[in-house]
Structure 1
Amino acid sequence: MLFKFKSIFNFSFKAKYSFSFIVITFLTQLNYSQENRQFQVFQFPANKIPTIDGNSEDWKMVPKNYVVGMDQLWDDSGKQPKANPKNLDVSVKVGWVKGLNRLYFLYEAYDDYWDFSLPGLHNDTFELIVDADQSGGPFIDRFHPNPSLTNTMEAFFSYHGVHAQNYHIFTPALEKDWTMVWGSQPWIKKLPYANVSYHYNFKPGQSGKLTLEFWITPFDYAGNDPSRAIESILEENKNIGLCWAIIDYDDVNKTENNGFWNLSKEHKMYGNASYSLPFKLMPLENQFKKEIEAKWSFKVVNMPKREVAFVDESDGEVNSWNWDFGDGTTSTEQNPIHQYKEAGKYVVILNIKGPKGTSQLSKVWDVAVK
């Protein structure tokens, strides 16, 4: 019987290896699929940028599919088997504005016990991880890949929070700064890099609803010296890395929290950006778009020859383009390159046509050559 068993499963080493590889790959993909979630960042129209005042009215235009609620979180401390809205109920919306390197957040939460009377880290907390360029990898000093640099002040100042940022946002902050930036760059939590406002009417130990509204600036590089910082460029349809956790305390006399509600499936997301999740910077929703709108930009590609490249960036379906370069010449190309014969400052006009109508955009003296 043993011989038959062996004969049936008498794979060559190569076959066994291939089989094992398939099984491991399948399990890896299964695990990945469980974590393969993508979220959306709502684009606010330029004339409807939310005011940071703790009032959620500005956010009512955000569709429900942008909301991240308790159904997306899990308590990886194991203390709470499932979410109980009578104990804690949280929703988060994230927004952006095209042309601004800012991320806007609306955090709304009901808690049956708000713990925020102590001056240190023992505070109900919204812990936010930002990795806007999706660089991934560990970013706190004790996770440094070189063990000899682990937990050193050198690593803290040169490494901790540099390529991704961790904000311990106190909910609410009482007689202390609104957040602890876990790293050597506390300047990123102040204007002109961030702004915040709260609204609540409860006292420590009471229940109630909190509204937290804020914006932050994401950075590709943010060290101790702000003059060397590099902001992350936010662009339409780009993915950025975000993650958060809600640390819930229910007794001021207990040192341990009552739950660590994590958006990621990996507890160590707080110090490893590879465990953040993709959030897509979405285009404007259709109700905020014009059916057709002329938009364009330009770049001087050769100043000595006075060559200028014009780029059509119009919205809507466009069938024809008509450029007036301001020097008596025109073009019907979508993205023309034009050579000016004379130095000067020019009024350039783009006229477009499509099934939904026409549109025109002129720019006065933006285009200047010498």
Structure 2
Amino acid sequence: MKKILSIASILALGVMLQASAVSAHVDIVGIESGTLFQFPAGMEPTLDGDLSEWDIVPEDYYVPFESHFEYYLGLGHENDESNLSFRVVAGWSQGTNRLYFMMERFDNYWDRNGVGAVAGGDDSWEIMIDSDHGGDQHWYAAGDFESEEEHQRNQGRYAQNAHCRFPPLEPFGWKWWFQSKSTWHDVPPWGDYGFQLDGESNAGEVTARIEIMSAAWDDFHWVGPTESEPEHTFVEGNTIGLGWVVHDMDNDAEDNSGSTGGWGINPNIQMWFDCGNCSDFLLAPTDPRVDFSQMVTGTAVEEESWGRIKAAYIQQ
């Protein structure tokens, strides 16, 4: 049965459409506008690598593999899905004031041994978060400041960037914040993950299932959470900046002759340096197509596409 939109849903759609008009930093190929799916309070995904809870998210929130741009090998959008393929979706919750990320990834070789140079030498998911949408720089060279103390204070201060690598290995765990001395950002309540791997690390084809939860800060301090207060407060209808690069380390026996590939959400690889090169994502209201009461028992997504719902609203 088709869902009849309530006036509350229509008003929520109006907020979304108005917020979508914010000028983007860098567009995502094939995506009209980046959108963060809202999980109602108490219905956030369990971080265990079981992605079935994400089945409620309509397909039009996903950023597919073909939207990503490969930098290092010069492939651009000409990608070989027998080597690598993935899909990504991001969400948020007012209840927890956290961002949530999910990736389902096929890879013909899962590299996780801590050996190498680029991205720490392993397959990783590098995520940049610009919560106040300021387009701030988040990495600085040592010579950019007069003292190492000042240098370290400003690393990731106004926007954050880290490599997420699984399974976790010491000394950097699962979330390697390569430019910061922080040791607390990757543990609850500020960060957590779920991970399942069909296959074996460093041994051939795999399917990886990844879930990530993260806080964000408008003035981060590596020393500790007290010094970093307050955390950024996510507000429905606001726009934040997000970027990510999916790194693929193939060995000599695999594709790319041992070369490193990097697939970014947009063509601007400088997002690893500053979030002026990230993409815009709207903190969406709860989607009126989704019946959250069916999160466990069955499908929760109506047949109507998001585009058709928006078109219906515009015609009002």
Normalized against structure 1, the TM-score is what?
A: 0.63
Amino acid at match of 1:115: D
Give the superposition deviation at 1:175: 5.7
Contact 1:194/1:217, CA 8 A, preserved across alignment: yes
- Does residue 188 of structure 2 align to residue 191 of structure 1? yes
C-alpha distance 257-134 of structure 1, shift in aligned 2 (>3 A)? farther
Contact 1:161/1:185, CA 8 A, preserved across alignment: no
Give the superposition deviation at 1:162: 0.9
- Does residue 165 of structure 2 align to residue 170 of structure 1? yes
For the aligned residue pairs, the C-alpha RMSD in angstroms reads 2.8
Task: State the secondary structure of the residue aligned to 2:152.
Answer: helix
1:1-370 aligned within 5 A: 38-81=33-76, 82-118=78-114, 121-142=120-141, 148-149=144-145, 153-174=148-169, 177-182=173-178, 183-203=180-200, 204-225=202-223, 226-229=225-228, 230-251=230-251, 257-288=259-290
Contact 2:145/2:151, CA 8 A, preserved across alignment: no
Q: In the alignment, what sits opposite 2:20?
A: none
The CA distance in 1 between the partners of 2:59 and 2:127, in whole Å, is 21
Amino acid at match of 2:203: G
Contact 1:140/1:161, CA 8 A, preserved across alignment: yes
The CA distance in 2 between the partners of 1:58 and 1:247, in whole Å, is 26
Give the superposition deviation at 1:185: 2.6
1:230-268 Cα deviation digits (max 9, x unpaired): 211111111011000011110179997431111132111
C-alpha distance 276-148 of structure 1, shift in aligned 2 (>3 A)? closer
Task: State the secondary structure of the residue aligned to 1:48.
Answer: coil
Contact 2:28/2:279, CA 8 A, preserved across alignment: no
Runs of at least 5 residues in structure 1 that lack an aligned partner in the other structure? 1-28, 291-370
The CA distance in 2 between the partners of 1:84 and 1:128, in whole Å, is 23
Contact 1:163/1:219, CA 8 A, preserved across alignment: yes
Runs of at least 5 residues in structure 2 that lack an aligned partner in the other structure? 1-22, 293-316
The CA distance in 1 between the partners of 2:259 and 2:221, in whole Å, is 30
The CA distance in 1 between the partners of 2:158 and 2:206, in whole Å, is 36
The CA distance in 2 between the partners of 1:165 and 1:39, in whole Å, is 19
Amino acid at match of 1:185: S
The CA distance in 2 between the partners of 1:286 and 1:37, in whole Å, is 19
Amino acid at match of 2:98: R
Give the superposition deviation at 1:90: 1.1
The CA distance in 2 between the partners of 1:130 and 1:34, in whole Å, is 16
Task: State the secondary structure of the residue aligned to 1:274.
Answer: helix
Contact 2:122/2:249, CA 8 A, preserved across alignment: yes
Task: State the secondary structure of the residue aligned to 1:221.
Answer: coil
Task: State the secondary structure of the residue aligned to 2:158.
Answer: coil
Task: State the secondary structure of the residue aligned to 1:52.
Answer: coil
C-alpha distance 281-154 of structure 1, shift in aligned 2 (>3 A)? same
C-alpha distance 77-166 of structure 1, shift in aligned 2 (>3 A)? same
Amino acid at match of 1:215: M
Contact 1:246/1:261, CA 8 A, preserved across alignment: yes
Give the superposition deviation at 1:148: 4.8
C-alpha distance 214-233 of structure 1, shift in aligned 2 (>3 A)? same
The CA distance in 2 between the partners of 1:178 and 1:148, in whole Å, is 28
C-alpha distance 264-153 of structure 1, shift in aligned 2 (>3 A)? farther
Normalized against structure 2, the TM-score is what?
A: 0.74
Give the superposition deviation at 1:276: 0.9
Amino acid at match of 2:216: P
Give the superposition deviation at 1:285: 1.1
Greater share of residues in strand: 1
Task: State the secondary structure of the residue aligned to 1:58.
Answer: helix
